[in-house]
Amino acid sequence: MTLQQRKRVVIVGGGITGLAAARYLGQHAAGIAVTLIESDDRLGGKIATQRVDGFVIEGGPDSFLSYKPRGLGLCRELGLESRLHGTSGKVRRTYIMRGRKLHQLPEGLTGLIPSRFGPMLKTPLISLLGKGRMGLEYFIPPRMTDEDESLESFVSRRLGREVYVRMIEPLMSGIYAGDGNQLSLAATFPNLRKAELDYGGLIKSMLAARSKPAPQATSQATKRWPAFLTLESGLAEMVEKIEVELEAVDIRLRTRVTDVRRQSGQWGYQVAIEGEEPMTADAVILATPAFVTAELIDTLDPQAAEALRQIPYVSTATVSVVYPISQVPVPLDAHGYIVPRSEGRPVLACTWTSTKFPHRAPEGFALIRAFIGRAGQEDMLDRTDEELIQLVRDELRGVLGVTAPPQMHFVFRWPMAMPQYTLGHLVRVSTIERCFDRHPGLFFAGGAYRGIGIPDCIASGEKAATQAMTSIQTHTSAEVLTA
């Protein structure tokens, strides 16, 4: 046996981040043993697809952004390209609730920057005064301090409070379930700050973009794909395909890691496992939520653990309901609707799944998914399933006039599931990175740090895998030299 064959990487966490890391190592690190440890009885973490009677129900994420390369890239590598579906091209609109009524979200709000004047001027969501205030944005000079600013402060400062409360807050909430007064602009929407600094403001940046010739489509992602993609039988297809490729990986389900510490007097780490003998590893990738990672390295590096604990999480739930379409008195003519915090309602967004992704429900049925709970409203999760379903029924009765009980319902609870990139987040992540630099062979990855979406998680897992491989190779070369 060569020196290299004896090396081992342990990956903790079998969500998409850990799976991407395991797959990468399986493909690129011949001779290195890989163990993937997952506390749950299944792989996939927050990717949770249920397939029932021709319905595809997503409990967690339901799609990913096509323009971030590693979502689409991984699907292609897994041979899933022909299984990808974009959002329905027939219907593109999304509604926003205002005063309990649904209004169309103005088109062209890409990355939260308005890219078209017309729809913004016409929308009944913003008052005349609010529109006037929005127009003043053109004359507002950029803020010249480097201090982190909240998303709410930035949008209110530039476009006015009304635009924030009625339009941007619910859009942002749909992604982070967060509180815009706490979320860091630099960590969540750096493109907005960049537009301010590069062009002097959002309107100026929009005008500059319009005066440029339309970019030539250079990649498949810009050429063909709608912004949001999903898979025919749900995002779990990705997980299932990866699993098939992990033949050589030692996968341990229902196994909880409790601690990671240095091997005394030797290179590498001891990975403590609940109820089992500890494992030794030459490199460890922690693909667990930040608060779990904090616990695992508390003894090894209390400073890193403290910074990790400062990344807060929000709890949320999704409730999917199925109705025969005849029971829904109004047409489901949009991808769904989002609800501003100011409306004071428990539901933060409602996806009309069977319209957004028609393949997810058999003909003649409506599949609707409600998001419940956001920063500050997390006690929603204390309610029973029956109460959550009733809450969604009340919502749909009020908005769509549906009075019948749903034919099927699916409740998914997500305690401490949505990491919040609050003010100072980027500094916090840099601190964590610096701390980890002190521990060769130890890496962290996942949605809590530099990108919350699935493509970001995949990229982060693959990056950690590359680092783990390099660290082992470097150490092995040093061992050979000193042997």
The nearest distance, CB 450 to ligand FAD, in angstroms, is 12
Of 164 and 357, the one with the shorter C-beta distance to ligand FAD is 357
Burial class (CB in 10 A: 0-12, 13-18, 19+), 315: buried
Could you give the 3-state DSSP secondary structure of residue 112?
A: coil
In the complex with ligand FAD, the residue whose CB is nearer, 13 or 160, is: 13
Q: How far is the CB of 44 from ligand FAD (least distance, A)?
A: 7
The amino acid that residue 469 corresponds to is: M
Comparing CB distances to ligand FAD, the nearer of 157 and 450 is 450
| CA count, 13 A, side-chain hemisphere, 6 | 9
DSSP state of 266: S
Nearer to ligand FAD, 60 or 441 (CB): 60
State the Cα angle at 251 between 22 and 26, rounded to 5°. Answer: 30
Q: How far is the CB of 78 from ligand FAD (least distance, A)?
A: 16
Q: How far is CA 75 from CA 89, 226, 240, in A?
A: 21, 15, 12
The answer to whether residues 261 and 300 touch, using CB atoms and an 8 Å cutoff, is yes
Is 59 in a helix, a strand, or coil? coil
Residue 98: CB minimum distance to ligand FAD, A: 24
Half-sphere exposure of 145 (CA within 13 A, CB side): 4
Which residue number, 151 or 454, has a Cβ lying nearer to ligand FAD?
Answer: 454
- Token match 């913003």: residue? 126
Q: Which is closer to ligand FAD, CB of 134 or CB of 454?
A: 454
Of 15 and 346, the one with the shorter C-beta distance to ligand FAD is: 15
CB of 15 to ligand FAD, least distance (A): 2
Supply the minimum distance, in Å, between the C-beta of residue 417 and ligand FAD. 4
Q: Smallest distance, Å, CB 248 to ligand FAD?
A: 20
The residue among 229, 239, 236, 234 whose CA lies nearest residue 84 is: 229
CA dist 60 and 48 (Å) reads 6
Question: CA geometry: angle at 287 spanning 81 and 231, to 5°?
Answer: 20
Q: Which residues bind ligand FAD (CB under 6 A)?
A: 12-18, 37-40, 45-47, 60-64, 256-257, 287-289, 292, 316, 318, 414, 417-418, 446-447, 452-454, 457
Q: How far is CA 320 from the centre of its chain?
A: 19
Integer Cα distance of 33 and 88 in angstroms: 43
CB 334 within 8 A of CB 355: yes
**Is 40 in a helix, a strand, or coil?**
coil
Using a CB cutoff of 8 Å and minimum separation of 24, what contacts does 204-211 make?
204/138, 205/113, 206/113, 206/114, 206/115, 206/116, 206/117, 209/115
Rounded to a whole number, what is the largest CA-CA distance in the chain? Answer: 77
State how far the Cα of 457 lies from the Cα of 483, in Å rounded to an integer.
38
At 13 the three-state DSSP class reads coil
With a CB cutoff of 8 Å and minimum separation 6, the contacts of 362 are: 53, 54, 55
Q: What is the closest distance, in whole angstroms, from the C-beta atom of residue 104 to ligand FAD in the complex? A: 22
**Token digits of residue 443:** 């890496």
Which is nearer to ligand FAD, 60 or 130 (by Cβ)? 60
**Residue closer to ligand FAD (CB basis): 39 or 354:** 39
Kindly tell me which of 165 and 314 has the beta carbon lying closer to ligand FAD: 314
Q: Please, which residue, 114 or 461, has the CB nearer to ligand FAD?
A: 461
Q: How many residues does the chain have?
A: 483
Q: How far is the CB of 45 from ligand FAD (least distance, A)?
A: 2
Task: Rank residues 37 and 350 by Cβ distance to ligand FAD and give the closer one.
Answer: 37
For the CB of residue 64, give the shortest distance to ligand FAD in the complex, in Å. Answer: 4
Which burial class, exposed, middle or buried, applies to 199 when counting CB atoms under 10 A from its CB (0-12, 13-18, 19+)? middle
